[in-house]
Chain A
Amino acid sequence: MNAVTDPSGDAGPPGERLIAAEGLEVAFGGRRVLEHVDITVSAGEIVTVIGPNGSGKSTLVRTLLGLQPLSAGHVWRKPGLTIGYVPQKLQVDAIMPLTVTRFLTLTGRHDRATVERALAETGVGHLADAQFHVLSGGEHQRVLLARALLRSPDLLVLDEPVQGVDFTGEAALYELIGVIARRHRCGILMVSHDLHVVMAATDRVVCLNHHICCAGTPEAVTHHPEYRRLFGARAAGALALYSHHHDHHHHTVSGAVVTPETNRPEPPHA
């Protein structure tokens, strides 16, 4: 159960450390949104932050990205770290004419072939000339993912990457995220308020409610009393779903997934 109480996880990280935060504290107008938060993400691993709405998940992400000043603690980034970011709410009004290709090249200049390759990788190669504001929920998220990939990131930061996507689409998206992590050998930090699918697609789960309640492998976290207290009845469902798949990979005694590069848990095909 060490895996559960040690917020940074117990086993050695699968790869080089990409980003590490220690003792993070963020306050808005005297109200503490985050306190004593430690978190690390290493190359090749998928870390998911789960927590109820308003638990500080997006604030944590924005702090790690350097968008939110912190009141205590510090964030270390690997020198020269490139981050691909998929923000939580990105809506383009119909009043702005913007093609998908143009959206992908807003801050970086990439040639047409590179853009099309990135879109093809996330399964939306046919949308290069579509107007951004008419995309469906799933297409929208895949375009955002392609945009993040264009930067050749060492670390992908995905804030609610399956929002607006139906349940079957969710599973496919998490599968795609797993494929991307393996192919690009990048670390992934994901934020989610849903439990079921995301936990099965994850190496390490951090359960956040202003502070870190528990952290570790998905299986270890689902057994943790703090987690069950936080999510109540929904937690049981996640456990069932996770258990259904936990045969697909093996753990060390301490709970770390063995060789995550080759033996990542499959997303459920529920």
Chain B
Amino acid sequence: MPEDFLVRAALAGIGVALAAAPLGCFIVWRRMAYFGDTMAHSALLGVALGFLLGLAPTVGVILVTTGIAILLILLQQQRRLATDTLLGILSHSALSTGLVALSLMAWLRIDLMGYLFGDILAVTALDLYLVYGGGALVLATMAAIWRPLLAATVHEDLARAEGVPTLIVRLVFMLLVALVIAIAMKIVGILLITALLIIPAAAARRFARTPEQMAVMAALIGAVAVLLGLGGSFGFDTPSGPSVVVAAMLLFVLSLVPIGRRIDG
């Protein structure tokens, strides 16, 4: 019988993988990998804000990551700086500001490494409720906006011309990304969240002929990566977050190997 903390870790990891999969697909389709990364990097600032205002870290993270996303969209209206430059500035400034803020709050004793790289083996029962409650909310909302978001992803103007409220759908999607970052932070850490979003999605591409198939395959691949990574982490005494990402990477590499008839697309 595996130990309790391992069961909780596996359940939490699988929950995060399932919730992250459909979002990860859209992040890949919309070429938003660095956008997601920037939001994730700002999460540490959210943790600091949470402590400062006496809020739960999760709430602080959702507030700050959403704020950064909106700030980025506003900054994109100007033409002087390219988006990748903006992302680089915001991403690293937010991460550094978060680190500085947390170190200035000398009265806090927090596990910084846990926030940065995840501490999946310290998952509590409360964390599990958060993962599955938040995850269910994310999946239900994704199901509700799936068709308009897909239409807006294929062509924003065409979708708008056909009556899709693309701005609202995009904002909701961004909120969901913020929520997933908040619930995945403890599992893989803010520096590695993007990996859990995009690697399973990229690995799933080959096995899918429809967007929905790709989301389901990404969820499966993500869950398998979590189990493999945790097993490796326990067996080889390696940090859990990076171990999960290494497992996902190995699955991605496997997905590139041509075996038999390729499901082309």
A102 contacts B by Cβ under 8 Å: yes
Check B161 against A67 for contact (C-beta < 8 Å): yes
| Contact status B209-A99, CB under 8 Å | yes
Q: Which residues of A contact B154 (CB under 8 A)?
A: 90, 92, 96, 98, 103, 106
Most buried by B among A92, A98, A102: A98
CB neighbours of A102 from chain B (8 A): 210-211
**Chain A residues within 8 Å of B205, by CB:** 95, 97
Whether B249 sits at the interface, judged by CB under 8 Å, is no
Total A-B Cβ pairs within 8 A: 65
Closest to B214 in A: A97
Residues of A within 8 A of B162 (CB): 85, 107-108, 151
Interface residues of B in 223-265 (CB under 8 A from A): 264-265
Query: Once the chains bind, are A96 and B209 in contact (CB under 8 Å)?
Result: no
> In the complex, what residues of A have CB within 8 A of residue B265's CB?
94, 97, 131
Scan residues 92-134 of chain A and give those whose CB is less than 8 A from a CB of chain B.
92-99, 102-103, 106-108, 131
A90-B155, A103-B154, A106-B147 known; A83 and B161 CB under 8 Å? yes
CB distance from A119 to the nearest CB of B (A): 17
A103 to B150, CA, bound (A): 10
Interface size class of B (residues with CB under 8 A): 20 to 34
Q: Indicate whether A211 reaches chain B with its CB closer than 8 angstroms.
A: no
The 8 A CB mask of A59-75 against B (1 = contact, 0 = none) is 00010011100000000
Cross-chain pairs A/B with CB under 8 angstroms, 19 sampled: A62-B157, A65-B157, A83-B161, A87-B158, A87-B161, A90-B158, A92-B154, A95-B202, A95-B205, A96-B29, A96-B153, A97-B205, A98-B210, A103-B154, A106-B147, A106-B154, A107-B148, A108-B162, A131-B264
Give me the interface of A with B, judged by CB distance under 8 Å. Answer: 62, 65-67, 83, 85, 87, 90, 92-99, 102-103, 106-108, 131, 151
A sample of 7 more A-B contacts (CB under 8 A), given A67-B161, A87-B161, A131-B264, is A65-B161, A96-B154, A96-B214, A97-B213, A99-B209, A107-B147, A107-B164
